[in-house]
DNA sequence: TTGCGCAACTGGCTCAAGCCAGTCTATGGT
DNA sequence: ACCATAGACTGGCTTGAGCCAGTTGCGCAA
């Protein structure tokens, strides 16, 4: 039968989590180290295994710890090596790479990029998209779904919307890699040179689909970015919704306050 | 004794979570609605209360559900009404508000802003800060810790670093509200007009301290923003590390690709 | 020497029970 | 008419049990 001592004041699991957290922060455990097992923690703290487990789950949610089935719990290392910003859209940057902005950053970090064009289809624009493209909702657009990998780790998903009137009859409307000059090169050929961008950034927990599709460890949030590409006179012609895993990603913008 | 039927294939808790998730997404439960209680879920799914509980915890971590002790679980509403961007640093924007960039946005959203200056002290610059300020690590800086509230909900913490050589002898070195023209007004008076900014954005799970200090519900990530304020010739003179709750916050940048 | 298989470990998940602490409401006493 | 309170609900947390599924290494047999 459950013993049920009148659990003093502060939750037991919380206490174990704090102890482990302090141990990690103090350097007693360094990234990659193995933590004591659930069963060991339980006995050393005179609690149930479930309680020790709850404590570790808390640390997992904080992104401090990573579980490995059959092996143990390990202190997470926090890489954060992909940085994206304004510069990725500049012409010289695009000139160097075969894979567009993503590939440029990946190579700069010594990683091997891969882009997977999952689909390209003609659909009516949803409100979110239409608003940003400055068109009527329901107007046809091309929806391109790209998955981005660095060293075969899925990093982000980008869903690009381009008005059908622009993409019609071009490679942009086909579900294939766009090759050397990438999306923005193709658009430039069509007379749409990206000169201004708007980037709306939020963060949120990963959805279940993302966690499965991107093979995300628990406790990794997503950066949710709506990018709008505009011409010199601020006419939008392309919108992309990037969802990137926050543990590997950072955004880096520099801009004039007024321009 | 534990019954232990040979749990078929996919975890029970996962299944309950999926069912609830679908019900929420399909609109069967709308934001603010109360979900079935743990005990009810357990019986309707023929599981233990712990299992139902685990299912709901999953939804909480995804940000879909919010618990209220003694009342029940409720579908979360996602407000996201604070947006920050380049415009907050422009002179006309600053002119209208008593509270600087944050107050401007809060008022625009019909919320009552409050800024709390927690401390202002002279310390040697850490590497992170020194690098961004373009000074030697260890050089003295003023560290100002500000807490920002909208309708008394803690929204973000901003820790500003200004070289001591600039702040020395001014209101910037004192732990008090800077009044009508705020930080950037004061800096402008000293000859440091903000003309370029750099903003480095990441997201991460909230730390325990943040969760407690900001009174955060579980499953709310943080947006971690390093802001650098620069003069027209790109000389940095101020660095601020904003940590903002991601559920209420968004960033909105627009900029030229080359300038 | 090789390699197979059996412990002995790890986390993953479930169960059933029970106490604590909030919230709400209906009821009964003042 | 008021208010206090008891009971019935809610989530919060813990216990200790037990099976499943990965991982690892050791020892034994071929």
CA distance A225 to A246: 11
Structural domain span for residue A36: 12-75
Query: Which mean pLDDT values do the consecutive 10-residue runs of chain B (259 residues) have?
Result: 40 95 96 97 96 97 96 91 81 65 84 91 96 97 95 93 94 77 85 93 95 91 96 96 95 88
Residues A35, A117 within the same domain? no
Residues A97, A219 within the same domain? yes
* CATH (domain of B98): 3.40.1410.10
As a whole number, the mean pLDDT across chain A is 89
Predicted local distance difference test score (pLDDT) of residue A81: 81
Residues B181, B132 within the same domain? yes
Residue B46 lies in a domain: yes
Residues B45, B106 within the same domain? no
Residues B142, B185 within the same domain? yes
Return the percentage of chain A with pLDDT > 70, whole number. Answer: 92
Residues B181, B68 within the same domain? no
Q: Does residue A5 have a pLDDT over 70?
A: no
Which of A77, A197, A201, A239 should be substituted to probe chain B, the one whose Cβ sees the most B Cβ atoms within 10 Å? A201
Closest by Cα among B221, B239, B220, B219 to B229:
B239
Residue B154 lies in a domain: yes
Residue A142 lies in a domain: yes
Q: Do B62 and A207 touch (CB under 8 A)?
A: yes
Boundary (domain end) residue, out of B25, B48, B75 = B75
Residue B115 lies in a domain: yes
* CATH (domain of A61): 1.10.10.10
Predicted local distance difference test score (pLDDT) of residue B97: 57
B151 membership: H or E segment, kind and range: none
Q: How many domains does chain B have?
A: 2
Predicted local distance difference test score (pLDDT) of residue A87: 74
- Provide, in whole angstroms, the distance separating residue A45's CA from nucleotide D7's C1': 37
Predicted local distance difference test score (pLDDT) of residue B4: 33
Residues B130, B163 within the same domain? yes
Residues A189, A240 within the same domain? yes
Residue B226 lies in a domain: yes
What's the mean pLDDT in A220-233?
96
Boundary (domain end) residue, out of A75, A96, A116 = A75
- Provide, in whole angstroms, the distance separating residue A4's CA from nucleotide C29's C1': 37
Predicted local distance difference test score (pLDDT) of residue A19: 97
3-state DSSP helix/strand/coil % of chain A, to nearest 5: 30, 30, 35
Positions 97-136 in B, CB within 7 angstroms of strand C: none
Residues B45, B109 within the same domain? no
Residues A39, A123 within the same domain? no
Predicted local distance difference test score (pLDDT) of residue A180: 62
pLDDT category at A86 given cuts 50, 70, 90 is confident
CB-contacted nucleotides of strand C (7 Å): 9-24
Residue A3 lies in a domain: no
Residue with the larger pLDDT of the pair B182 and A200: A200
Residues B112, B54 within the same domain? no
CA distance B184 to B88: 11
CA distance B54 to B58: 6
What's the mean pLDDT in A226-254?
95
Residue B109 lies in a domain: yes
Q: Does residue A8 have a pLDDT over 80?
A: no
Closest by Cα among A2, A80, A65 to A29:
A65
A112-170 tens-digit pLDDT:
999 899 999 999 999 999 999 999 999 999 999 999 999 989 999 999 999 999 999 88
pLDDT category at A2 given cuts 50, 70, 90 is very low
Residues A122, A229 within the same domain? yes
């Amino acid at each position: 039968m459950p013993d049920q001592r009148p659990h003093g004041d502060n939750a037991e699991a919380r206490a174990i989590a704090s102890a482990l957290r302090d141990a990690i922060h103090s350097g007693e455990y360094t990234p990659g180290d193995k933590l004591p097992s659930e069963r060991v923690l339980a006995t050393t703290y005179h609690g149930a295994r479930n309680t020790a487990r709850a404590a570790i789950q808390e640390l997992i949610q904080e992104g401090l710890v990573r579980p490995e089935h059959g092996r143990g719990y390990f202190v997470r290392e926090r890489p954060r090596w992909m940085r994206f910003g304004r510069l990725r859209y500049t012409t010289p940057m695009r000139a160097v790479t075969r894979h567009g902005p993503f590939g440029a950053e990946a190579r700069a970090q010594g990683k091997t990029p891969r882009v997977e064009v999952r689909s390209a289809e003609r659909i009516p624009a949803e409100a979110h998209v239409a608003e940003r493209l400055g068109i009527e909702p329901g107007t046809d657009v091309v929806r391109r779904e790209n998955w981005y990998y660095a060293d075969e780790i899925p990093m982000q998903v980008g869903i690009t919307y381009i008005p059908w009137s622009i993409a019609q009859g071009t490679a942009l409307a086909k579900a294939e890699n766009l090759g050397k000059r990438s999306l923005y090169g193709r658009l430039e050929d069509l007379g749409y040179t990206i000169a201004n961008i708007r980037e709306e950034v939020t963060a949120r927990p990963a959805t279940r689909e993302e966690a499965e599709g991107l093979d995300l460890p628990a406790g990794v949030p997503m950066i949710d970015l709506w990018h709008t590409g505009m011409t010199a006179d601020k006419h939008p012609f392309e919108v992309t919704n990037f969802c990137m895993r926050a543990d590997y990603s950072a955004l880096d913008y520099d801009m004039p306050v007024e321009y």
